[in-house]
Amino acid sequence: MADREKGVAALAGALGFLVMNATIATLLSIFDPEGKAIDSGVVGSPSCRNYCGLSSQ
């Protein structure tokens, strides 16, 4: 069965690669790595420190 469906597998792999590339390119254009960072206030908050076991300095 694998011998008969090599063409289909190659086509599916190529299509998956193209979709992945397009998705990553779109996400990189939306979420610009050089842009301003968003401070959510979660990292470094007292509740996060207690949950993660970090010392509160």
pLDDT digits 0-9 by tens, 5-45 = 899 999 999 999 999 999 999 888 887 767 666 666 666 56
pLDDT tens, 29-40?
887 767 666 666
Q: Roughly how many angstroms between the first and final C-alpha of the chain, as a whole number? A: 63
27 inside domain: yes
pTM of the model: 0.51
Length of the chain: 57
Q: What range defines the domain where residue 17 resides?
A: 1-32
- Residue 56 domain-assigned (yes or no): no
1 lies in some domain: yes
Q: What share of the chain is helix, strand, coil (3-state, %, to 5)?
A: 55, 0, 45
Looking at the domain assignment, is residue 16 inside a domain? yes
